[in-house]
Structure 1
Amino acid sequence: MQLGHVLSNGTTTRPAKSLVSLAVALSLSCVGNVQAGSDDLDDIERITTTGSRFAESDDAMPVVISRVGEDDIRLVSPAHIEEVLKFVAGAGVQRGNGQEYLPALRSQVFTGAGACGGLLTAEDGIPLRAAGFCNINELFEAHSEMAQRIEVLKGPGSALYGSNAVHGVINVITPDTTRDIGMLGFDYGSYGYKRAKLRQGKDFGNSGIGINASVTHDSGYRDGEGVQQEKVNLRHRYDAEGLTLTTGFTYTNLDQDTAGYVSGFESYKDADLAQGNENPDAFRKNRAVRLWTNAKWDLGEDKLLSVTPYFRNQSMDFRMHFLPGTPLEKNDQQGFGLQSLYQQPLNDNWRVDMGVDYEYTEGGLQQFQDGPTQGSAFLVATVPEGQHYDYQVDATLWAPFASLVWEQDAWTVTLGARYEYMNYDYTNNMIAGRTRDDGTECGFGGCRYSRPPSGNDHYSNLSPKFGVSYQYSDNTRFYANVSKGYRAPQATELYRLQRNQQTADLDSETATNVEVGVKGFYENLSYVVSAYNMNKDNFIFRDSDFFNVNDGESRHRGIEVELRYQFSPAWDLTVAATHARHTYEHSQVLSDINIKGNDIDTAPRTLANARVGWNVTANSRIELEWQHVDEYYTDPENLHEYEGHDLMHLRASVSVTDNLTVYGRVLNLTDEAYAERADYSSFGGDRYFPGLPRHLMVSAEYQW
C-alpha cells in the first residue's frame, strides 16, 4: 500500500490507495450524513482536514474523527451548535442561556475552576482563542450555523494539537466560497427567532473570492433575554503552479441579554418559574476577528508544505451575574501565530511529517464592581465594590512536532511526539494581595479576591503518540492508539486568585489515553465502535479554602457507537451513542464525604441520539430524532441529581424547484418539561437552565 494525499483543491499528489481502502472510506462516509445522494466530494470520500493539515481520507488513521456534514447542518439550521454536536457520540454539550454552553467530549460537562481548556476549539484549523486564554463558551465565535462541516477529533491522539486538546478537538470548517455559488436563506421561529443567511462566491479561474454571512435576532423564551448576533466569513483563493494560496477572514459580534439559572428543586417543571429571569441585568458582549493565510506547496516528488500565519483580536464585556456583587468583567486578547507542516515520503512505505507552531498573545483582564454587595454581613465585608483585578499577560508558545507514518499491506502505524513550551509574562496593574483597590483591608479576615505580584511562569510538556490500524478484511478495519495529552494552566487560574492565596503553584494537567476500536461496513450498515480509558493527573479544581490547586485525579472510560443503516433506498437510521463513567480518583472530603470513586458531577453515563429518515420522494425528506440524556449527579458528593430526559424532534425538507428548498421543524415535539442544564450549589440549592417547550422553525433557501 502506498502513501497518498489530496490537496484541499482535490488534486491527487500521490498514487491512490487500494480499492479496499476506498471502499471503507465510501462506507464510512455514511456515518453522520443525513441525506443520500450528495454530489459533494467531501461527502463521498469522507475527506477531513482535522487529522492532517492537508485534506485526506481518515479511514486508515488510528483515531476517530466524527463529522457533521452540510446536509445535517442545513436540515437542522441550528440556533445553537449543541443541536448538531449531539450527533457525535461522546459529545454532551449543555446549553446555558442564549449562545452560552458548557462542553463535554469523552468527559463530564466541564464546570467550575479548571473547566476551561479541556478541549480545543477551532475554525478552519485556527484555534478560536490563544493557548492559555480560553473561554468556556468560545464556540459562539465560530460560524457553525453556516459551516461546510464540523469535524470532531476524539482524544489526544494527534501531534498536530497541544495544550487544551486533552479530550479532543472541535473544528468548524467554513465553506469554500471562491467557486461560483450563491445562496440566500431565511429562518423564522417561535419566540421571535429570525435569521438571514447569504453565501456568494465568484470563480475567476486561477483565483476566486466569496462571502458567507448570517445575521440572527432572537427575542428569547424567558423574560429579559435576547440575542443579536452577526457573523461573516470572507475568503480569497489564488492558484499557481504547485501553489494554492487561501486567505480567510472571520468577524463575529454577539450582543446578548442573559437569563441565569432558575432556582428551586425541579423549578424547570413550573412554566412560570422556567420563563422567569432572576438576573435581568446580566449580559455578554463579545467581538472576535481572525485573519489567516494558508499556503500549500506541492514541491514535487510527493513533498508537501503547508504554512499558515494568522492574527486574532478578541474582546468581551461580561456581567458576572452568578457572583456576589455581580461584577463586570472586561477581557481582551490580541496576537499572531504560525502553523506549519512538511510532509515527505522516505520510500514507498515510510513518510515523515514535521512542523513548528508558534503563538504570541497579549491578553488583559479587568474585573470591576460598581456598587456595594448585597447579602450577609460576611459577603458585604469581603466582596468590596471597586476594582478587583487588573492585569496583563504576554504569552509565548513554541511547539515543534514530528511523526513517522508506515504503511505496509494492511497495516498503518504512526509514531509521533509534540514538545510545547509556554511562557507567561504577568503584570499586575493593582496593589498585590487581598485588599480593596485603595489598599485598605476587608473585614472577616480579608477580601475575597487576591492579586498575586507581577511575575513569570513557564511550562514545558512532551506528548508522545502511537497508533496502529489493520485492514482485517475488505469491510473491517481495527485500530488502537496510546497517547498523552496535556493542558497548561490558563492565565485566569494562575492570576485570578481568592482568599489568602498569593501564588498558584500549578503544574500542567496531563492525561494518558488508551483506545481501541473498529471501523467498517456490512451490506447496508456502516459503523464505528470505540472503547477508551483515560487517566488524568493534576487536574485543577478549587478546594475548600478557595485555593486553585491541581492535585486532582480523574478516570474516564467508555464505549461509543456511531452507525448508519440503510433499511431501503428511502429509509435510513443514524445512531450516535455512548456509555461512559467519569470518576474522581483523588481523596477530597466535602460535607464529610470523601469523593474518591464518586461520579464527577454533571456526567450522565448514557447519551444517545437516533434519527430515522424517510426520503419521501427524490426531492423531499422527513426525519424524526430522539435524544436521550441519562440521569446525573449535580454535586461531587453525589447527594443531588437530575432525572434526565428524552426529547423528540421532527424535521422535513422539500425542494420546491431546482433552486428553492423549504424546511420545517417541530422541536421538543412532545412538549417535555426538561432542563438543558441542572446544577446544585451549596449556597442556593438546586438550579437549572430550563429547556424550551415545543416550538417551531421554518426556513427557505434559494440557491443559484
Structure 2
Amino acid sequence: MITRQISPLALAICLLPSAGFAAKSDTELTQEVVSVTANRIEKQLKEQSLAISIIDKQDIDNLGHTHISEILSQTPGVWVSRGNGQEHLTAIRSAVLTGTGSCGAFYFAEDGIPLRAPGFCNVNALFDVNAEQAERIEVIRGPGTAVHGSNALNGVINVISAAPSSEPETHLSIEGGPNDYGRIKFSHSDTAGKHGYRISAQGNHDGGYKDDSGFDQQKFNFRHDYHGDIWEIQSLLSASNLNQETAGYLIGQDAYKDSSRKRENPNPEAYRNSQSVRFYSRFEREGDKDSRFVVTPYARYTEMAFLQHFLPGTPLEENGERSVGVQTAFYQNYSDNTTLYNGFDMEVTSAYLEQSQARPSFASFPTGQHYDYHVDALYAAWFIGGDWQAAKSTKINFGARYDLQFYDYQNNMISGNTAANGSACAPNGCRYARPSDDKEHFKNGSFNLGIIQSISANTDLIANASHGFRAPQAAELYRLQAQQLNADLDEESLNSVEVGFRGIWPALNYRVALYWMQKDDVIIQDSDRRNINDGKTLDRGIEADFNWQLSPSLQWQLQGSYSKHQYGNDALAPEGNELDTAPRQLASTRLRWQPFSSTTLEFEVQYQGEYFLEGNNLYRYPGHTLGKIRWRQQLNEQVYTVLRINNIADIDYAERADYAFGNYRYFVGEPRAAFIELGIDF
C-alpha cells in the first residue's frame, strides 16, 4: 500500500488564493496588465476569464534562467520537465506527456505565431525561442481560444518579443557558472521618427554536468516596428542554433542519490543539432467606426538531427520543415457593450523525416534506413469570437473555430514491414513499418465560453467552458511500427470546465480556480505497437496564484496546484489509476526584498510532490523541495552584478524519473550551483 503526504508548503498554497501577475510596488499593482495571447490584440487581463499567467520582463531578468523549465515554474499547474541539456517535456494541467505526437497537446508560440507547423510538433520546440530576452511570457492553462485551434488542447505558451525602446539603449552582460558554463547577452535598441528597432542576441556554452555532455547555443532576434499614419507594422526575424552532446538516463533504483554515479552517461555518443529561422510581419490598421484589421504573413524553417539514445539500436533521426502562412483578424466594436472579431488562418508546409541505424542488425532492429518520407500539408481555419458586456457587472467572452488539416504523404522507401533492402527480420518481423503513399484530411471545431461576474469592486467570480482538439500528428500517421501499415486515426478531443475567484487590491492580487477536464480518443500505442484512438484521461485540480506587496520593499508570491490525473479507461492501465509522471502537488513561494534602491534579494522554494513512474502505480518517485537565492546589486547607474545560487541545500533529486523496460530511469538533478552575472547598460 502506498501512502501520500501533502507538504505544508503545497497545502498552504492550495488553500490560499492568488494572482497571475507579479507586483513590484503598491502603485504598480494598480496598473493595467495586458495580454495578447487570447485574442491577438492587447486586452486588459481583468477583462479575460481564462486562466492566464504573465511572467514579465523584470522576473525574466531577475531569474536569468538557463533552461526554460526554470522560468515556467513560476506559473501554477505547469511543469516543464528538464531532460539533458536544453531538452524538455511539458505538462500543463496534465501529466508530463510523452510519445510521438504528445506535444500536439500544447500550442508553443512566439508573438502568437506557432513555433512549429500544425501536425509537426516537437516536444523540445521551446528551446528554439529567445525567452531569455523576451518582453514577457504568457501562459494559458487549459484549452485555448478561437484564435488558436489545433494543438491548443492542454495549454498555450506564448513568448512575446521585446519591443524597440523610445530612447537609444544598449545592454551587455556576461555570466559564468559551474561546468564551464558561460553566457553573453547583448541588446541594442533605438527609435527614429516612425521607425524603431531592437537587436537581441545571446550565446552560451555549457560543458555539461554529466560525462561527455554539454551544449553550445546561440539565439538572435531582430525586431522592427513602424508606426505610420494608417498602418502599424511589426516585424520579427528570429534564429537559433543548438549543438548538444546528450546524456542518457541514469539506470537503477535511487541512482540519482549515488554521488559516485551522478555524472555517468550511458550514451556518450548521443547528440542533438537543431537550427531554426522564423520571420513575420504583422500589418495592423484602424478602420472606420471602431474597427481594426490585422494580417500577419509568416515563414518558418527548421532542421534537426539527433541520435535517439532512448531507443534500441540508437537510430539517427533527421527532420525538417519549411512553412509559409498567414493569420488574419478583423475586430469591430458594434456598441459600447459588444465587440466581435473573426478571421481566417492558412499555412502550407513541406516536411520530411528520415531515420537510420548504423549499428548491425539485431532482433527486430535492422541496420540501414528505417524511414524516409515527405509530407506536404495544408492547414486552414476560420474563427469568430467576441466580448459582450451583458450587464454592468457581467462580461462574457466567447469564440468558435473550424479547422481543416490535409496531409499528402510520400514514402521514399520500399513500403511494408521489412529492412531497407526488403529482407525480413526474424522471427517476428521488423520493428519499423512504412505505409504506402497516402492522403489524409481532418476537420474539427472548437469553442470557448467564459463569464466574469463582478461580486465587488475588487472581486470577480469567473467560469469557463471549452472544447479543444488536436489532429493526429504526421509522425503518428506515418511513422508506424510492427505490422501496422495504416493508422486509421481520429482527432483527440478535450472538454474542460473551470470556476474560480480572483481579486485585485492595491497591494494584493489573487486567483484561485477549480477545473475538470476529460480527454477522449487519446492516441496511444497498444500492446501490438499500433497507433490507435483508444485512450481516455480525467484531470481535476485546484490552482492558486497569490501576490502580496507586504511593504514598499517586501513582496511575497505564492503559487501552486493540487491535481489528480487518471486513466479514464483500461486501454493503457487499469481504469482509475493515476497517470505516470503526474505529481499531485506543484508549488513555489518567493520572497523579494529590496532593502535599498540598489539592492534586491530573492529567496525561492520550489516543491514537487511524489508521482508514479508507470501506469500500474507500482513504482514512484518521492518528490523533492529545492531552494534558490538571487542577489542583484546595482553598482552605479550603468553597472550591476547578480549572484544566483540554485539548490542551496545541495539535495539529491531527479529532474524526471520513470520506470521502463524493467528499470528505474532518471535524469539527474544538478547539485548546488552558483552563477555570477555582470551587466552594463550604456
TM-score normalised by the chain length of structure 2: 0.95
Query: 1 CA distance for matches of 2:144 and 2:304?
Result: 32
Q: Pick which of 95-104 and 52-61 moved more.
A: 52-61
Per-residue deviation, 1:113: 4.3
Would you say the 8 A contact 2:511–2:545 is kept in 1? yes
AA of the residue aligned to 2:120? F
- Verify: 1:631 aligned to 2:619, yes or no: no
The equivalent position to 2:127 in structure 1, one of 140, 151, 161, is: 140
Q: Which residue of 1 aligns with 2:372?
A: 390
Query: 1 CA distance for matches of 2:507 and 2:133?
Result: 30
CA deviations over 1:623-682 (Å, ceiling 9, x no partner): 11100000000001101100100000011111111122211011100000000000110x
Would you say the 8 A contact 1:353–1:404 is kept in 2? yes
Alignment of 1:316-355 (within 5 A): 316-355=304-343
CA deviations over 1:319-367 (Å, ceiling 9, x no partner): 0111111110000000101111110011221111100111110000000
| Percentage identity across paired residues of the two chains | 41
Would you say the 8 A contact 1:29–1:43 is kept in 2? no
Query: 2 CA distance for matches of 1:300 and 1:201?
Result: 33
SS in 2 for 1:145: helix
AA of the residue aligned to 2:460? R
- Verify: 1:518 aligned to 2:505, yes or no: no
The equivalent position to 1:51 in structure 2, one of 19, 38, 45, is: 38
Would you say the 8 A contact 2:232–2:283 is kept in 1? yes
Query: 2 CA distance for matches of 1:35 and 1:696?
Result: 26
Query: 1 CA distance for matches of 2:570 and 2:226?
Result: 58
Change (3 A) 1:80 1:500: same
Q: Which residue of 1 aligns with 2:263?
A: 275
RMSD, aligned CA: 1.6
SS in 2 for 1:182: strand
AA of the residue aligned to 1:372? P
Query: 2 CA distance for matches of 1:607 and 1:696?
Result: 24
CA deviations over 1:419-471 (Å, ceiling 9, x no partner): 00000000011111111111111101211100011110110001122111112
Query: 1 CA distance for matches of 2:186 and 2:610?
Result: 40
Query: 2 CA distance for matches of 1:126 and 1:690?
Result: 33
Alignment of 1:380-529 (within 5 A): 380-407=362-389, 408-522=391-505, 524-529=507-512
AA of the residue aligned to 1:241? D
Q: Which residue of 2 aligns with 1:175?
A: 162
SS in 2 for 1:83: helix
SS in 2 for 1:567: strand
SS in 2 for 1:526: strand
Would you say the 8 A contact 2:262–2:668 is kept in 1? yes
Change (3 A) 1:168 1:161: same
Unaligned runs of 5+ in 2: 1-16
Change (3 A) 1:549 1:54: same
Q: Which residue of 1 aligns with 2:647?
A: 668
Alignment of 1:79-90 (within 5 A): 79-90=66-77
- Verify: 1:260 aligned to 2:238, yes or no: no
Alignment of 1:60-459 (within 5 A): 60-177=47-164, 179=166, 180-373=168-361, 380-407=362-389, 408-459=391-442
Query: 2 CA distance for matches of 1:522 and 1:32?
Result: 12
Query: 2 CA distance for matches of 1:521 and 1:381?
Result: 63
Per-residue deviation, 1:523: 5.8
Query: 2 CA distance for matches of 1:288 and 1:29?
Result: 37
Query: 1 CA distance for matches of 2:469 and 2:632?
Result: 43
- Verify: 1:615 aligned to 2:594, yes or no: yes
Q: Pick which of 513-522 and 326-335 moved more.
A: 513-522
SS in 1 for 2:75: coil
Alignment of 1:555-634 (within 5 A): 555-588=538-571, 594-634=573-613
Structure number with the bigger relative contact order (C-alpha 8 A, sep ≥ 6) is 2
Q: Which residue of 1 aligns with 2:22?
A: 33
Query: 1 CA distance for matches of 2:659 and 2:100?
Result: 15
Query: 2 CA distance for matches of 1:197 and 1:283?
Result: 25
Query: 1 CA distance for matches of 2:625 and 2:634?
Result: 31
AA of the residue aligned to 1:452? P
Query: 1 CA distance for matches of 2:55 and 2:469?
Result: 26
Query: 1 CA distance for matches of 2:235 and 2:57?
Result: 22
Would you say the 8 A contact 1:157–1:481 is kept in 2? no
Unaligned runs of 5+ in 1: 1-27, 374-379
CA deviations over 1:295-318 (Å, ceiling 9, x no partner): 110113210111100000000001
Q: Pick which of 576-585 and 30-39 moved more.
A: 30-39
Would you say the 8 A contact 1:43–1:69 is kept in 2? no
Q: Which residue of 2 aligns with 1:13?
A: none
Would you say the 8 A contact 1:583–1:600 is kept in 2? yes
Query: 2 CA distance for matches of 1:38 and 1:367?
Result: 57
Change (3 A) 1:578 1:269: same
Change (3 A) 1:608 1:159: same
SS in 1 for 2:47: coil
Per-residue deviation, 1:44: 3.6
Q: Pick which of 666-675 and 67-76 moved more.
A: 67-76
Q: Which residue of 2 aligns with 1:24?
A: none
CA deviations over 1:490-541 (Å, ceiling 9, x no partner): 0110000000001111110000001112111356321011111001001111
Instruction: Count matched residues.
Output: 664
AA of the residue aligned to 1:685? N
Query: 1 CA distance for matches of 2:25 and 2:179?
Result: 33
Query: 2 CA distance for matches of 1:190 and 1:32?
Result: 32
AA of the residue aligned to 1:521? I
CA deviations over 1:103-130 (Å, ceiling 9, x no partner): 0001101123442211110111110000
SS in 1 for 2:67: coil
Q: Pick which of 611-620 and 452-461 moved more.
A: 611-620
Per-residue deviation, 1:209: 2.0
Query: 2 CA distance for matches of 1:205 and 1:684?
Result: 66
CA deviations over 1:558-587 (Å, ceiling 9, x no partner): 110001112222222101100001100012
Would you say the 8 A contact 2:313–2:359 is kept in 1? yes
Q: Pick which of 106-115 and 269-278 moved more.
A: 106-115
Per-residue deviation, 1:684: 4.5
AA of the residue aligned to 1:396? L
Query: 1 CA distance for matches of 2:101 and 2:533?
Result: 9
Would you say the 8 A contact 2:19–2:544 is kept in 1? no
Would you say the 8 A contact 1:29–1:45 is kept in 2? no
SS in 2 for 1:231: strand
SS in 2 for 1:473: coil
Query: 1 CA distance for matches of 2:575 and 2:246?
Result: 35
SS in 1 for 2:127: helix
Would you say the 8 A contact 2:107–2:155 is kept in 1? yes
SS in 1 for 2:247: coil
Query: 2 CA distance for matches of 1:67 and 1:299?
Result: 30
Q: Which residue of 1 aligns with 2:673?
A: 695
Would you say the 8 A contact 2:69–2:82 is kept in 1? yes
CA deviations over 1:219-265 (Å, ceiling 9, x no partner): 11110101100000001121111321111100000000000100000
Per-residue deviation, 1:400: 0.2
Would you say the 8 A contact 1:359–1:397 is kept in 2? yes
Change (3 A) 1:635 1:393: same
TM-score normalised by the chain length of structure 1: 0.92
Per-residue deviation, 1:393: 0.6
